[in-house]
Amino acid sequence: MTRSSNVLGMIAPILVIVAALLFLAGCGPGDGQGLDENGNLLGQSSAGGGGGGGGAAAGASGNPNATLAWVQGNVFGGVCSQCHIGAGAPFGVNWSSETNTCANIGRTSGEMPTLSEIERSDPAASYMIWKVQGAGPNGESIAAGTARMPLNNPALPPETIQNMRDWIADGAPGC
């Protein structure tokens, strides 16, 4: 083996590493063109977070706030989890994280066992919606001795409840 082939053999791996670094340097953060203020592709919702909301396009409702990230950040995590948190949560209904919220889908209501806490794609059959509305879709009473949620706080605005209803109607994306 000649000295020049020896040097070439030592330099080749270094050249490969330098080329790879130069290639990766071109993969910067970008200028944000084509993204909304939340960093999502234009025309997509602002879902995201630990529960896998992931930025999917708005569902059939067309409501960009009908996402797990939105309902968790604006309702379940900020309002409901003041009481509904941990092992001691009323009726075991924990809303403190996206994972816990998703666990309530299909879970039988402790107050009204004929309904689920959240019935995927059916807000009218979701007891959580009944609780925040103070009644069922046809004026049915919530369980005797219970109150509209959030307890001892102002009722949620109609727009907020609609975002929750749309999220459920869209199939509870992110869960």
pLDDT in tens, 42-95: 443 333 333 333 344 568 899 999 999 999 999 999 999 999 999 999 999 999
d(CA 55, CA 43): 10
Q: What is the pLDDT of residue 144?
A: 85
Query: Rounded to the nearest 5°, which phi and psi values hold at 116?
Result: -90, 155
Q: What is the pLDDT of residue 107?
A: 97
Nearest CA-CA partner of 123 in 63, 45, 73:
63
Q: Count CB-CB contacts under 10 A for residue 84.
A: 23
* Mean pLDDT in residue range 133-160: 93
C-alpha 171 chain-centroid distance: 12
Query: In this structure, are residues 37 and 31 in contact, taking their beta carbons and an 8 Å threshold?
Result: no
